[in-house]
Amino acid sequence: MSSRTLPLLFINLGGEMLYILDQRLRAQNIPADKAKKVMNDIITTMFNKKFLEELFKPQELYSKKALRTVFDRLAHASIMRLNQASMDKLYDLMTMAFKYQVLLCLRPKDILLVSFNHMDAIKDFVKDTPSILSLVDETYRQLIEMYTSLSHGEFQLIRQTLLIFFQDMHIRVSIFLKDKVQNSNGRFVLPTSGPVPHGTQVPGLIRMFSCTGEEVTRLQFNNGGNYTAGLREGSFEMFGDRVTKLGTNMYSVSRPVETHMSGTSKSSAQHTKVNTAPNPLAKEELNLLAKLMGGLEVQKTGNADSGFRVNLFATDEEEEEALITRPDELSYGVINIQATKDHQANAELAKIMGEFTESGHQSPSASSKGDDLLAMMDGL
């Protein structure tokens, strides 16, 4: 499938993560300077030059396990800590939000507009810090360079690749249920009303032509929906009205965000079947993780003065409860990697990766080697 999907997946999920963290930092009354530091640190890490270089290379999508690990790292790029249950919930919310946006996009190219909506909001988060702002601007440029010239068919391929990644995820999100955009079975509501995509006509007309090209007959039929004419096209430039609301911050109004675990285990079990196939491209995932780790400042995790914990649940008890009751099929199998710029650890990692490269072409054991490497990183 499309080898240009990862940057869009990462940026949009990252954007959703920032919306949620911003809301939780406010809800927990974290002091403004600390909250700002967290947001700035995460955004700086997200748009780290070397990291983006790796991200924008043509490649297949990462496994769910690897991507989840990347976001784990990202969420801990600053003085904020999240417990396992809160991290799980954060990731659930992020992924379901982006799945919703991908599904509801009027046409595949709109995924780029959704990405720009996220980028616009991120830019707003760091507008007071020129150094980070320039990183964000650079990312806009890379997005524009890579994506604006793609055809509609290529965007549909990207969309189809994303939909395979999100296949069978039906976690219920309280804010979606309340807004009636998600049903109680976890499936999103797809309305048969509203504006048609830019470039599409409202269904209902049949035109028949003679051999010379003249219209001979016009027939109307009932389209079974309630559609209106398409809106103007959104802007694909660094600034502009994106037109679509998908990808904008839906947490601006302070609302508690709960996810429901029950009733989703059946469909998720089918999903994990595809996921457990060994991934022979684990090396690429390690590259990205290494770049991410390499760019981090050492955080004094034990410092009681600056560090703090954020809870995605209303109370600590709820958080503990969520950890215990989470169905097995929905666990992400996260690899624990410590935030460290330890040179020795990096050298160790580089050596391990060097060994993996030397093994050369793919053989039946290569896939298990990838898994071993990922497991080895546990101990770093």
Partner 1 sequence: MYHKEKSIQIKNSASALYNNLSVLRIAPRRLTYFTVVHANVVNMVSASWDGLNYSHRQLQSKEPNVATSTSLIMQAAFCVLPSRELLVITSQKGIQMYESDGSIMVYWHALDTPETPSEVNYVPAQAVFARGISAVWENYICVGVSSGSILVFDVPSKGSNITLSEVLEEHKESITDIASECSGSQQCIADLVSADDGGNLCVWKSGEEFQLLNKIPGFDMSCSSVKLWKGTVVAGYGTGQIRLYEAVTGILHAEVNAHARWIYSLDIAPFSGLLLSAAEDSLVRVWHLTVSQETNSVEVAHLHNECVTDTQICGARFCDGDGYAFAVTGYDLSEIIRYTQT
Residues 188 to 227: which contact partner 1 by CB under 8 A? 188-190, 192, 196-197, 199-209, 211, 213, 217, 219, 221-225, 227
Give yes or no for residue 244 binding partner 1 (CB under 8 A).
no
User: With the CA atoms of 242, 139, 292 and 349 taken in that order, what torsion angle do they form, in degrees rounded to the nearest 10?
Assistant: 130
Please report which helix (H) or strand (E) contains residue 366, including its range.
helix 364-377
- Tell me how far apart the alpha carbons of residues 114 and 133 are, in angstroms, rounded to a whole number: 20
Binds partner 1 (CB under 8 A): choice among 81, 260, 283, 291: 283
Contact map string, positions 318 to 357, toward partner 1, x by CB under 8 A: ---------------------------------------x
DSSP state of 219: E
Can residue 298 be called a binding residue for partner 1 (CB under 8 A)?
no
Task: Based on the shown chain and the rule CB under 8 A, indicate whether residue 64 belongs to the binding site for partner 1.
Answer: no
CB 92 within 8 A of CB 171: yes
For residues 6 and 49, what is the distance between their CA atoms, to the nearest angstrom? 16
Write down the least CB distance from residue 201 to partner 1, Å: 4
How many CB atoms lie under 10 A from the CB of residue 219? 9
Given a contact cutoff of 8 angstroms between Cβ atoms, the answer to whether 12 and 103 are in contact is no
Per CB under 8 A, 307 contacts partner 1:
no
Interaction between residue 130 and partner 1 (CB under 8 A): no
b/e sequence 141-158, b meaning 16+ C-beta within 10 Å: ebbeeebeebeeeebebb
Nearer to partner 1 (CB atom), residue 157 or residue 322: 157
Tell me how many residues contact partner 1 (CB under 8 A).
73
Min separation Cβ 278 and partner 1, Å: 6
Residue 58 engages partner 1 in binding (rule: CB under 8 A): yes
Please identify which residue in 49, 127, 245, 273 interacts with partner 1, judged by CB under 8 A: 273
The distance of closest approach from Cβ of residue 365 to partner 1 in the complex, given in angstroms and rounded to an integer, is 9
| Residue showing tokens 């609302």 | 255
Residue 274 sits in the site that holds partner 1 (CB under 8 A): yes
Smallest gap, in angstroms, from Cβ of residue 181 to partner 1?
A: 10
Nearest to 46 by CA among 9, 81, 2: 9
Instruction: By CB under 8 A, name the one of 157, 290, 293, 349 that touches partner 1.
Output: 157
Q: Which two tokens stand for residue 262?
A: 């029950």
Strand-pairing partners, residue 310, are 82
Closer of 121 and 281 to partner 1 (Cβ):
281
Touching partner 1, residues 68-97 (CB under 8 A) = none
The stretches of 28-83 forming alpha helices (DSSP H) are: 32-46, 49-55, 64-75
Q: Which stretch binds partner 1 (CB under 8 A): 42-50, 136-144, 182-190, 299-307?
A: 182-190
- 3-state SS assignment for residue 179: coil
Work out which of 164, 314, 347, 350 binds partner 1, going by CB under 8 A. 164
Does 263 engage in binding with partner 1 (CB under 8 A)?
no
276 by Cβ neighbours in 10 Å (0-12 / 13-18 / 19+) ranks as exposed
